[in-house]
Homo-oligomer: A and B are copies of this chain.
Amino acid sequence: MSEGPLTRAPQLSTQTWYNTNVPVDLLELRGKVVVIYAFQMLCPACVSHSLPQAKSLHQYFTADDVCVLGLHSVFEHHDVMTNEALAAFISEYRLGFPIAVDAPGENGPIPQTMQRYELQGTPSVLLIDRQGYLRVKALGHVADLPLGHWIGRLLSTTHEAPSEPPKGDALQACLVNGRCN
């Protein structure tokens, strides 16, 4: 979690979207709390913990309050985590929320949005408040209780926030510089 003054959430740089007719623009989501799950379809902790949680969020909250997005940020095994593979994955796992493919990096394996947000691996959870500020950036799975708490805070407040952002269980993450733990 970045210290210091709040920063606006950078725009997403995406290639393809699933489960939505029009690409999602963060600017148009002002007024809502946005939860973004950066994942890879071959990341075990993403599949077992974070994407099921994303489905729960998508079902529990109304679309006017909370927008749940998936971001397929592939930084390894690019040849097999293709758009076609992702489409089959989304279908088999019955993911119903909008999912974007992070635009491929121009100078290396790290995709563009992942670079902009300086994500260290997958899963990563991003929380953006109603004013468009990035409030949480957690590597690894975040448990339901702290995540629900933070979303509740962000739904109610403007810029006031808890002092401690929720932490992910990075021990189970796939890291940019290493294998999946």
Residues of A within 8 A of B (CB): 42-44, 47-48, 53, 56-57, 60-61, 77, 79-82, 84-85, 88-89, 91-94, 143-157, 160, 162, 174, 179-180
Interface SS of A by simple majority:
helix
A56 nearest in chain B by CB position: B145
A-B contact pairs, 6 of them (CB 8 A): A44-B92, A144-B144, A149-B152, A152-B152, A152-B154, A152-B156
Is A60's CB under 8 angstroms from B146's CB? yes
Contacts of A77 in B (CB 8 A): 85, 88, 92
List B contacts of A92 (CB < 8 A): 42-44, 77, 174, 179-180
B-chain residues with CB within 8 Å of residue A155 when the two chains form the complex: 149, 152-153, 156, 162
